[in-house]
Structure 1
């Protein structure tokens, strides 16, 4: 008899423990995230693992929302636009520039303010965007600079290049009048190709004037209209309040700054 009572108590305790466990451990909701596959350093594959600034940011947003992140990886920004409008994802990352988007209901708060660089060769007479009327400017396929330039000067001709190497080569060979990339992309290219940097030309000039005169290097065009982007995510309007709250908390706790330093080697969170 005592054995039966003992077994009964054990069963009751197990049931009570199970009920209490499920009460205190709610199932996490899912945050569906759309993201561009190859957009380094925002998102890219390393050792077959998806990583990058926006990948880590997305995971941190999910943590703030107490949700489980689920990624849907695509090749083009345009695909992400459709996925958000069709409610296939809750949030989409593709280094979207706020100035190119029409509906504020579909965008998060800005979380990065990267500088752009409009560049020409040292032999160019271009001083600002107005000097590029009816001339060709190159930009990268996965960037949003095409819309930015056309918004500033609709008479600029745009040529799109698949990668940085081809874009910079076209400018240096005078096939196009100028190029536009992010400041990070510009400085990283010069770091790997020191002979086209203004610093190299200055050094060479002090040693060999004739060689310096023949050298073709790059220089920035100072124009306030093209120097700043505001990077946002595309979002499902029903999630806007939660996502913006998460971004604010991450910004206030310096977590976005830490990610910026990690992937861009500088703080790009200030306007």
Structure 2
């Protein structure tokens, strides 16, 4: 079976550390361009079509930047390096489907959530549906994700938990039967099944629900506040709903 390809590795831009200090909202406005960072592997949120970065979070971030009167510059790097790079002031804001967790909140400041989702069990058989069915199984998850952390801490009896640097690698491991199940984000799984209806994957239970937000450095709350204000405007004027329907055919905002 031909493996799915979400992005060519050559399309990634790995940004070297610059040693610059975090830019204030005022400095960003003076420059006129906000530096945004994402993974770029995460269909349908942020991925490459040829050389063009696209996806729900890409579209949303660009609309927010426009609301703020700013141009935007994208950087793409591996998921587990995004928040580290943010703390090193290599970009102004990260938007890459990060769930808000107490541990992450110690390191960065989150904006208001721009969607809600959660972890889902994906397998080649409907005999594997939920956490209890992972007992004695080999399970895949992406490095640095809350999904990996959840399985480590809350799912008991797993034979082996294998972490992969990308979701593509985890998916390929499932397709080639090197693992029995894959724990990942539900909208990513939905998109995977939509694009590949001939592949006999089974979507199992949701393990938990989480709120997803963009992140800025701890001392950059004015930037987060401006981002939140622009996001609320998009929610009110219907722009968010249009994007959500375009990418998911449903409204994925968090309930009030």
- Among residues 45, 50, 57, which one is paired with 1:54 in the alignment? 57
Shift of the 194–240 alpha-carbon distance from structure 1 to 2, 3 Å rule, reads: closer
Unaligned runs of 5+ in 2: 1-28
Q: What RMSD over aligned residues (CA atoms) do the two structures have, in Å?
A: 3.1
Aligned-residue offset at 1:181: 2.8
- What residue number does 2:154 align with? 152
* The one of 247, 254, 258 aligned to 2:231: 247
TM-score, normalised relative to structure 2: 0.70
User: Deviation at 1:62?
Assistant: 1.4
* Match for residue 182 of structure 1 among 180, 185, 190: 185
Offset of residue 129 of structure 1: 1.1
Q: CA deviation at 1:92?
A: 0.8
* Closer, same or farther: CA 232–109 of 1 in aligned 2, 3 Å: same
Deviations 1:39-92 (A, max 9, x none): 222222334222222222121221222223232x12212322122212232211
Provide the rounded CA distance (Å) in 2 between the counterparts of 1:84 and 1:256: 26
Q: Secondary structure of 1:145's partner? A: helix
Are residues 1:130 and 2:136 paired? no
Work out whether residues 119 and 219 of structure 1, in 8 Å CA contact, stay in contact via their aligned partners in 2: yes
Q: Distance in 1 between matches of 2:197 and 2:68?
A: 45
For structure 1, the residue ranges without an aligned partner over 5 or more in a row are 1-25, 198-217
CA distance in 1, matches of 2:36, 2:211: 20
Task: State the aligned residue count.
Answer: 219
Q: TM-score, normalised by structure 1?
A: 0.67
| Segments of 4+ moved more than 6 angstroms | none
Larger C-alpha radius of gyration, 1 or 2?
1
Change (3 A) 1:100 1:259: farther
2:248 aligned with 1:267, yes or no? no
Alignment of 1:97-246 (within 5 A): 97-99=99-101, 101-103=103-105, 105-122=108-125, 124=127, 126=128, 128-133=130-135, 135-140=137-142, 144-153=146-155, 156=158, 157-161=160-164, 162=166, 163=168, 165-170=171-176, 173=177, 175-191=178-194, 193-194=196-197, 197=200, 218-223=201-206, 225-226=207-208, 228-237=209-218, 238=220, 239-246=223-230
